[in-house]
Amino acid sequence: MTAQPYPISEIVASRRPHRKDAARNYDALLVAAREAFAEHGSEASLEDIARRAGVGIGTLYRNFPTRRDLFESVYAGEVNDLCRVAQEVAGLEPWEALTSWLDRFTDYMVTKRAVREALDDQSEIFDACRDSMYAAGTPLLERAQRAGVVRTDMDISDLLRMVAGITATNFADDAQRDRVLSIALDGVRTSG
């Protein structure tokens, strides 16, 4: 599978500063925000995010003038990473490639829940993210279907909705979530 641009890649690239020091601060803020949103949800403190990134609050606001800008950038970055992972795992055996990508998708869902609280479905980011995720995951699913290891009566939308529904549930711990997801994926896998 050759690397291909996804709609979200262009959005992510256009938002990232070009100067090295500014890009470093921008990246540090995104990492810090991702962690803070995973821990505290959409109400995470912007001051805490700046502190975690090792920058002042002014640097945060220079990069992300509004809270919404920060949420959108974190969300877009997560989806962009998810698309990159699809390229990285594409050379694995079909079932392993698909499940490796779905493992990363479950991690992404943690951030999505926090960010989704703050954004509405009208955001241009959501459309670009959905289109990019589908474009990244569809070849993995179709390859597994052609190999006869995944049922053919489903598409990427069906698969991602199933995994998203499972990951949206509260579990006692990550191990329980992984077990339940594994059980569900057994229903996707064929005996071939």
Domains, the chain, ranges and CATH?
A: 7-188 (1.10.357.10)
Q: What angle do CA 30, 67, 78 make, to 5 degrees?
A: 35
- The pLDDT, as a whole number, for residue 16 is 73
- The pLDDT, as a whole number, for residue 89 is 96
The residues near 149 (Cβ < 8 Å, ≥ 6 apart) are: 94, 95, 189, 190, 192
**Greater model confidence, 75 or 102:** 102
Banded model confidence at residue 124, pLDDT cuts 50, 70, 90: confident
Q: Cα-flanking dihedrals φ and ψ of residue 189, to 5°?
A: -80, 140
**Chain segment 38-90, per-residue pLDDT in tens:** 888 778 899 999 999 999 999 999 999 988 888 888 888 888 889 999 999 99
Distance, CA of 35 to CA of 26 (rounded, Å) = 14
Distance, CA of 100 to CA of 13 (rounded, Å) = 25
> Which residue do the tokens 């949103």 mark?
37
Closest CA to 79 of 10, 28, 21, 18: 10
- The pLDDT, as a whole number, for residue 156 is 96
With beta carbons less than 8 A apart as the criterion, state whether 102 and 161 touch: no
Mean pLDDT of 167-180: 86
Answering whether pTM is above 0.85, one says: no
DSSP letters for 7-64: HHHHHHHHHS-SSHHHHHHHHHHHHHHHHHHHHHGGG--HHHHHHHHTS-HHHHHHH-
